[in-house]
């Protein structure tokens, strides 16, 4: 049996995909891998050649980075304690920006990154200014009227 929590890296062929888990076969055999609670971060199909990094936990690899052949590496950070898996993509604001735009708002200024979310100032078609808190995976956690006196929005509102 392979040691638990040991860092590992494998390259192989995806032979099965089911929800957040998939099987990768390499020269040593088949390995069950887990993408966590956000499997949509990676579009995997049977036959894809991948390289993944992560930690072996029990009978599976908890993926922290995956690269499809010819593609760029997708980083997946896991955090949360007490058995809770909160999987997020590394600080790429594009998902957060897209979520705000889908709500019908124009993004003003650059998103402000925190360790676990982005803060984005949005403006509706009617001119309403709203502060969005968006998780790193693109899920909107909250929105509230923007405090225009807050120093964090000074550069975003300077051009209004």
Task: Write out pLDDT tens, residues 83-133.
Answer: 444 444 446 788 889 999 999 999 998 888 766 788 899 999 999 999 999
H/E segment holding residue 94: helix 94-102
- Give the up-direction half-sphere exposure of residue 57: CA atoms within 13 A in the CB hemisphere: 11
- Low-confidence winner among 21-25, 98-102, 146-150 (lowest mean pLDDT): 146-150
11 and 85 co-located in one domain: yes
99 and 71 co-located in one domain: no
Question: CA-to-CA distance for 10 and 66, rounded, in angstroms?
Answer: 10
24 and 80 co-located in one domain: yes
Could you give the C-alpha distances from 113 to 10, 86, 98, 141, in angstroms and in order? 31, 17, 15, 14
Task: Indicate the number of domains in the chain.
Answer: 2
Higher pLDDT, 126 or 20: 126
Q: What is the CATH number of the domain that holds 63?
A: 2.40.50.1010
Closest CA to 117 of 138, 148, 99: 138
Question: CA-to-CA distance for 91 and 136, rounded, in angstroms?
Answer: 7
Whether 1 is covered by a domain: the verdict is: no
62 and 125 co-located in one domain: no
105 and 123 co-located in one domain: yes
Domain boundaries, position 106? 94-157
- Contact 146/128 with Cβ under 8 angstroms? no
Q: What pLDDT, on the 0 to 100 scale, is given for residue 86?
A: 46
14 and 67 co-located in one domain: yes
Higher pLDDT, 160 or 16: 16
Residues 6 or more apart in contact with residue 97 via CB below 8 angstroms? 107, 111, 120
pLDDT digits (tens, 9 = 90+) for 24-77: 999 999 999 998 876 666 888 999 999 888 888 888 998 887 888 777 767 776
Is the pLDDT at 136 greater than 50? The verdict is yes
Q: What pLDDT, on the 0 to 100 scale, is given for residue 84?
A: 45
37 and 22 co-located in one domain: yes
Q: What pLDDT, on the 0 to 100 scale, is given for residue 1?
A: 39
Backbone dihedral region of 149: left (phi > 0), alpha (psi from -120 to 50 degrees) or beta?
alpha
Whether 131 is covered by a domain: the verdict is: yes
Is the pLDDT at 3 greater than 60? The verdict is no
Q: What pLDDT, on the 0 to 100 scale, is given for residue 83?
A: 46
């Amino acid at each position: 049996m392979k040691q638990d929590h040991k860092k590992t890296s494998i390259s192989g062929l995806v032979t099965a995909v089911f929800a957040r888990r998939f099987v990768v076969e390499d020269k040593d055999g088949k390995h069950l891998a887990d993408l966590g609670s956000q499997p949509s971060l990676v579009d995997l199909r049977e036959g894809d050649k991948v390289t993944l990094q992560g930690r072996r936990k029990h009978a599976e690899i908890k993926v922290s980075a995956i690269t499809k052949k010819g593609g760029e590496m997708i980083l997946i950070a896991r955090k949360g304690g007490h058995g809770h898996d909160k999987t997020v993509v590394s600080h790429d604001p594009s998902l957060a920006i897209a979520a705000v735009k889908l709500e019908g708002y124009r993004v003003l200024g650059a998103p402000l990154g925190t360790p676990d979310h982005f803060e984005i100032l949005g403006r509706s078609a009617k001119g309403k200014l709203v502060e969005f808190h968006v998780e790193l995976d693109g899920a909107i956690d909250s929105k509230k009227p923007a405090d225009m006196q807050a120093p964090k929005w000074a550069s975003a509102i300077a051009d209004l």
